[in-house]
Amino acid sequence: MTTTAHAPAENHHGAGHIHVDYPDRPVEYQTEDGALKILGFWVFLATDLILFSCLFATFIVLRSHVDGGPTGKELFDIPSFVAETFILLTSSFTGGLATFEMHRDKRNRVVGWLIVTVLLGLSFVGLEVKEFVHMAMDGATLQRSAFLSAFFTLVGTHGCHVSLGILWMTGIIIQLVRFGINPITARKVFIVNMYWHFLDVVWVFLFTVVYLMGVM
């Protein structure tokens, strides 16, 4: 909105100076670009929600179609999926603490909490890979039954999202170390944490619909 009559040469990115459109907003919303990207990410989350809802619908329809093969009750290891759940819930909290410290302009604490979040994410993915390998070794593979096809597609899609989130968050940690907290890195921290909290919500439904209802 504001006409930038002075210094048109300031337009290149990453060169140290960032044009702030709204200095009195929270840091992640201070540029028009940042505010639009956050809103755009909510649109992405709505579409990702629809993706997961289709996979959930498929799973719910096919969950009883075990074709004489192993059932969820036989396959799911309760301590393992409970541990995965608490790890992911905790990582959602530590990611939130990173956003909190970002609003207090504490760069090192943001980096610290994001590292904790990434490590928790890695242990979650590690447990999930171990679970999948264990199932496959017992003959419970993707091809075995409609139930298992739907199970691996649904849980695997979530696992891929978490793995991508780990890589993404690592990249943002590097940018924070290099550039500190500014309206651009703050927007990135805010968005990656939106993604992470969203994946936690999806997992709560996996925990409930796939695992708890599977061992009932």
Partner 1 sequence: MSGQHPSTAHATPSFPWQYVIGFILSLVLTVIPLWLVLDHVWKPTPLVIGILLCAVLQIFVQLFMFMHFTHGDGNGPAYQTVILSIGFFFAIIFIGASIWIMSFGYQVQ
| Contacting positions for partner 1 (CB under 8 A) | 17, 20, 22-27, 29-30, 35, 38-39, 42-43, 45-47, 49-50, 52-54, 56-58, 60-62, 65, 78, 82, 85-86, 89-90, 92-93, 95-97, 99-100, 103-105, 146, 180-183, 186, 193-194, 197-198, 200-201, 204-205, 207-209, 212-213, 215-216
Least distance between partner 1 and beta carbon 69 (Å): 15
Calculate the alpha carbon distances from 118 to 49, 107, 108, 168, 202 in Å.
23, 17, 15, 10, 18
Query: Which residue, 106 or 136, has its beta carbon nearer to partner 1?
Result: 106
Query: Which residue, 163 or 182, has its beta carbon nearer to partner 1?
Result: 182
Least distance between partner 1 and beta carbon 72 (Å): 12
Q: For the CA atoms of 84, 88, 89, 93, what is the dihedral angle to 10 degrees?
A: 150
Query: Which residue, 100 or 168, has its beta carbon nearer to partner 1?
Result: 100
Query: Which residue, 10 or 138, has its beta carbon nearer to partner 1?
Result: 10
